[in-house]
Chain A
Amino acid sequence: MSELQLKDLYDGFRDPDVIKALAQTITNEAKQLKEPLKIMEVCGGHTHTIMKYGLKQLLPDNIDFIHGPGCPVCIMPKERIDHAIALAQIEDAILLTLGDMIRVPGSTSSLALERAKGRDIRALYSPLDAIKIALENPDKKVIFFAIGFETTTPMTAALLEQVEKQGITNLYFHINHVLVPPAVDAIMADGQAKINAFIGPAHVSVISGAKIYQPLPKMYHAPVVVSGFEPIDVLQSILMIVRQKNEDRCEMEIQYSRSVTLEGNTKAQEMIAKFMEPREHFRWRGIGDIPHSALGLREQYAAYDAENIFADILPTEPIDDHKLCICGTILKGLAKPNDCKVFGTACTPNNPMGSCMVSSEGACNAYYRYGEV
């Protein structure tokens, strides 16, 4: 075997000839399917790939995608965004977060609007940058508003470890790390989405290991294939699902074998467990309360916990979405972005009404950017 080049990891999984060949093979083999496939791609990264490469258009009509809730910005309920805004309004605070969070509308404002009003709000490239900011601003309260699924959680844990090690006392954490399996369970328990196969998240699985999906095939009679994010990865995963269906198998398989193992990154898992534990409750936009679906800081780290320290100023009441926004229904897999009355008109990436239009992993944003399926 020849030696692997860095460009092979990109080009090798985007080769147009292979994309065509896989689509053709899927089309041939899907003729034998006994029932139409309704595949939920749990992760917004896969939604993005499907839209960007027009994969739906390459596949037969009996294969449909149901876009899942795996977009950390999208699932954040308005009251949590209001938390971020309230924290940013503290007089001597610097609020730090990642990427798209800045533009998500809360009940009356957004972090972007607050920043325009002069609040010190910064988007980080890496959580580790928070250390430098905290050290450079010893008289400020630096608050890291941490978001993300299993993929991004260990980086927050690694930051906590550094903060503890270096004895930093002016850096606080508002933890919004959420978990994939409870969300999938909630959608399946609802039962309306009629999902009969799953494409499992790529990088969540790099951290947690594919083992977290092992109960799914039996529980829901639906194959799970853990897939990489490149177009060839997604098509190969669909072919693996079609073959499972045609051979009457229902299993968890790993397509993304170059990066995912059954066990995952155990060091990262241990780091997370050291600092965080499941919350009793966490409310998801559209889906509602899902027990044990998110992490919070452990009791012994309460001194770092912004939700504990600034509890007085954080709103506690749930806040519903704008009544025209159907992000919630989309996140439950019951509607597509073009079913929404305000899609592309009152709600656009530049002026988003709902969270699914903000993030590049949001279904509405992907539909707007790459055209309707």
Chain B
Amino acid sequence: MELPQKQHSLAWRKFKRNRTGLFGSVLILIYLMTALLAPVIFPRNPSSLNLMKSLERPSIENPLGTDELGRSILGRIIYGSRVSLLIAIGVVAVGLLVGVPLGLISGYYGGKVDFGIQRVTDTMLAFPGFLLALALVAVLGVGLKNTIISVGISMVPIYIRLVRGCTLLVREQTYVEAARAVGTRDAMILLRHILPNVLVPIVIQTSLGMGTAILFAAGLGFLGIGVQPPTPEWGAMLGSGRAYLFNAPHVATFPGIAIFFAVLGFNLSGDGLRDVLDPRFKI
């Protein structure tokens, strides 16, 4: 959002005071650095097998132990952060690219267009989000790309609803009428006058959506229909570790913790952003 200079710093000052939000962003930053610097932090191949060392407990060599195929869990979590962040970004990108334009059009034009889009949205929202993603995977098939598309599509109705609601509010503003009164084109009104004014809720939803995306993708991985091995993916690691939960609990525990903190990070920073940016929370 194009905020004036003063508001920029005001938002930043408020965000700095918001400890939970700050904690969330630090978590995200750690994951981001881990993903970017994975080869530096963990120079070995995270997928190299060593059956001699299968299901070892944490040691100096393998700080988080090894899985049933003797692969380092630390390495797989580190490389798994790349996959998870990629999924998070890809999913919200699908949601934004499809949901935001449809929401804008639906809210701005109203009438039959709105009715059509909203009934489709209703239908999609009638399914629990994860179930929808699951059904889409069943149609599209497994793999990284299809995971992103399926989870992304399951997020689309949320964006449509959000953007439509905000657009309904903004399009009644006098400045939109004034823009029409000077002859501005509809496309221009949507992009320059309405979109920037509905950006704040979109940003907040995007941060929250990334957390959900990681959780959904991990859920699919856990069920074995998400990202396929040997790609390291937290959900899949959790799923395969489940079998050894009693004699080697670390195999499932550490990926679980990785998922937990990633989702927590995005949710906390999303809440923090809302506290800072949402005018209803202004003090």
Are A and B part of the same complex?
no
The interface of chain A, by Cβ under 8 A from chain B, is none
